[in-house]
Chains A and B, each alone.
Chain A
Amino acid sequence: MSRIARRFHDLKAEDRAALVTFLVAGDPDLETSQALIDGLPASGADLIEIGMPFTDPMADGPAIQAAGLRALAAGATMDRTLEMVRRFRDTDKVTPIVLMGYYNPIWARGPERFLAEAGAAGVDGLIIVDLPPEEDEELCLPARAAGIDFIRLATPTTDSARLPAVLLNSSGFIYYVSVAGITGQKRATAEVIGQAVRRLRAATDLPIAVGFGIREPEQAAEVARLADAVVVGSALVDSVAASLDPSGQAQPELVRAVHSRVERLAAAIRTARQQS
């Protein structure tokens, strides 16, 4: 069983949703970023998504765009992102790691080489925003063959005619993007999310994660009652940005500030289903 499958299997037994956290590799600097990632499991993150910085993140809002540029300015590269995962795996063998980003840095490296290195570093899954099912031969099928899950986004525009194509080669979990738009902006209502999750459940046995626009513990709890996982990204990236000094350097309390936000989200998710 893969780390992702194992994690969802265990959480199902506990009857609680997973907290999936997103941070950008190398944001705001390489050392701080490593400390942020390393401390996530102890803060309550169940799955870790790590953004691979890219100059042109077309599907991201201002917060994650800025994070990517901070990381690139601090010297982030694909080598260093993979090194970060390797170092994380030295001490944590169980928490799933999913790399998220855009295709060009992978294509530039060569998909086969990237997959071999990512697998060896301990990466469990990929979310590549600009690779729809129509481009599955590029990376999705090679990733599956290499034993790395390819996690697909389903969106409000993915209608029932299209859903089977989206699900076909998906593995790990399905990431439901709850609003049509870029990251960190609007948020869907619980009713809309509930309907979407039911529609997805009818079509797949894969766990369903919901993200986009979830910032606060109570919002996370609400989604945790409906879905198998709650993804929080822009809010954590905002916490990083809020702890920078005017010159853009990390202040001493940055790591703690981000981890406490994760702790609050995790606590809300852990008790969400008991309250409902």
Chain B
Amino acid sequence: MTAETASSTSARPNSLRQGPDARGRFGIHGGRFVAETLMPLILELERAYEIAKKDDRFKAELDYWFKDYVGRPSPLYFAEPLTNVLGGARIYFKREELNHTGAHKINNCLGQILLAQRMGKKRIIAETGAGQHGVATATVAARFGLPCVVYMGETDIERQKPNVFRMRLLGAEVIPVKSGSRTLKDAMNEALRDWVTNVEDTFYLIGTAAGPHPYPAMVRDFQSVIGNETREQILAKEGRLPDVLVAAIGGGSNAIGLFHPFLDDPEVRLVAVEAAGHGIETGKHAAAIAGGRPGVLHGQRSYLIQDDDGQVAEAHSISAGLDYPGVGPEHAWLADIGRMEVTAATDDEALAAFQTTAKLEGILPALESAHAIAATIKLAPQLAKDQILVLNLSGRGDKDIFTVASSMGVEL
């Protein structure tokens, strides 16, 4: 169903949905900036994915797992209390936090592990920031019977203990990464080092729509189920497309998943919310597009937070899932051509949005998603009451209660 919808509309001439080009580029972004050792693997993956993408059995298999294992489709929920309090646009939450494992991450993990299985790979590796992707990867690895190694920065292990324990319960080996800033960027370096060393049997299951081609396009395709469902659901509920879509972006997989099926609908505004940390002006942030410039890291060119000499800066966000100095290349391109608006929310704004959502809606959002809510709190009152805003509630906030408690001065 969902992949079908995507392919039938993406064939339009002048479509914004046809990227990347044959070299994996979205404008100047994307590409394949990897060591020669990995190049044959990247090409093998690209070939395998091109075949799988066109295979109806692959689509049917993925749809089966989405439905019976993840619990898709995820609901599109009318957030009436928040709508009333803000007094502007009608706000809907796309409830990705209700998915199995509590976030949108599982969509991509299922797609990639089915591909890994088709390719005969025997071992799964992944990087994780907040631990949501690590948990989702450990989950599918457990279900498909493949050994799994997850690289996670020491800093993130400290602030996401429940997810670390979850991964271990699921049988994954969690390897603490002690290099650099000890967060997601360093976990990704270490995963790449593992992959380059274990080229024979290992599948690198990247968690976001970033990295060398074909990852950004492949992860986007697997996550596009979010936007495809949203499209059907909003048409059923409101009889028209939404006016605004809002999503948080770190690497950007939940945002591209929601946005991509709407790229060719110019009346739909796309608003990406970066993590402003302590404020972009302080230099302690994770807003790659607003506060960075194009650079090459982790196999791709895209916006990157770096110094004048091209050294990568350490990102900062209270949300471990957004604490990354780069962003996916398709987002970079969408920002360059003006199709996607970019805004930001600070740590404090996200924490306030977290509490607002808990009290008004009875939902604990992930701190990542709380950034999208914070932006919505600013944006919705500026919109007319008959306008429709859909926000991607990409993950649940149970994992974040320790961080939130400590920000409130509460000891758990």
Contact = CB atoms under 8 A, between A and B. Distances in A.
B185 interface: yes
B189 A56 contact: yes
Nearest to A60: B193
Nearest to B309: A77
B197 A181 contact: yes
Contact of B32 (A54, A72, A135): A135
B37 A58 contact: no
A104 B35 contact: no
A58 B192 contact: yes
B196 A107 contact: no
Contacts of A62: 179
Interface in B276-327: 294-299, 301, 304, 306, 308-312
Given A55-B180, A181-B196, A108 B310 contact: yes
A84 B372 CA distance: 48
B34 interface: yes
B9 to A, nearest CB: 29
A104 B197 contact: no
A70 interface: no
A265 B35 CA distance: 28
A109 B296 CA distance: 12
B193 A59 contact: yes
Given A104-B296, A107-B296, A182-B193, A158 B36 contact: yes
A65 B179 contact: yes
B24 to A, nearest CB: 8
A108 B295 contact: yes
21 contacts: A53-B311, A55-B180, A55-B312, A58-B35, A62-B179, A77-B309, A78-B310, A102-B296, A103-B33, A107-B296, A108-B306, A108-B309, A109-B310, A134-B39, A157-B36, A166-B36, A180-B197, A181-B37, A181-B196, A182-B193, A185-B197
B31 interface: yes
Interface residue range, chain A: 35 or more
A155 interface: yes
A167 B199 CA distance: 22
B306 A130 contact: no
Interface in B221-270: none
B143 interface: no
B162 interface: no
A185 B197 CA distance: 10
Given A105-B311, A180-B199, A132 B34 contact: yes
A152 B31 CA distance: 18
Interface string B325-350: 00000000000000000000000000
Contacts of A107: 294-296, 301, 310
Interface in B1-41: 23, 31-41
A130 B34 contact: yes
Nearest to B178: A62
B39 to A, nearest CB: 5
Given A65-B179, A103-B296, A159-B40, A58 B310 contact: no
Contacts of A55: 180, 311-312
The size bracket of the interface on B is 35 or more
Interface centre among A130, A158, A185 (most CB of B within 10 A): A130
A249 B33 CA distance: 35
B311 A135 contact: no
A95 to B, nearest CB: 26
Interface of B: 23, 31-41, 179-180, 185-186, 189, 192-193, 196-197, 199, 294-299, 301, 304, 306, 308-312
A153 interface: yes
Contacts of A65: 179
B310 A135 contact: no
The 8 closest A-B pairs by CB, nearest first: A108-B310, A105-B310, A181-B197, A155-B37, A130-B33, A104-B310, A55-B312, A132-B39
A59 B35 contact: yes
Nearest to B191: A58
A155 B196 CA distance: 11
Given A134-B31, A153-B36, 10 more contacts: A54-B310, A78-B309, A108-B295, A108-B310, A131-B33, A134-B39, A159-B40, A162-B40, A166-B36, A180-B196
B180 A59 contact: no
A161 to B, nearest CB: 9
Contact of B36 (A72, A78, A154): A154
A158 B196 CA distance: 13
Interface string A163-195: 000100000000001001110010000000000
A5 interface: no
Choose among B31, B35, B304 the residue with the greatest number of A CB atoms under 10 Å from its CB: B35
A157 B199 contact: yes
B48 to A, nearest CB: 16
A129 interface: yes
Contacts of B37: 59, 153, 155-157, 177, 180-181
Contact of A105 (B38, B39, B309): B309
Given A104-B310, A106-B310, A132-B32, A162 B39 contact: yes
Nearest to B308: A108
A174 B186 CA distance: 30
B297 A56 contact: yes
Contacts of A57: 189
A59 B39 CA distance: 13
A72 B180 CA distance: 12
Nearest to A59: B35
Interface string A74-91: 000110000000000000
Interface string A205-243: 000000000000000000000000000000000000000
A132 B310 contact: no
A132 B309 contact: no
Contacts of A153: 35-37
Contacts of B35: 58-59, 129-130, 132, 153, 155
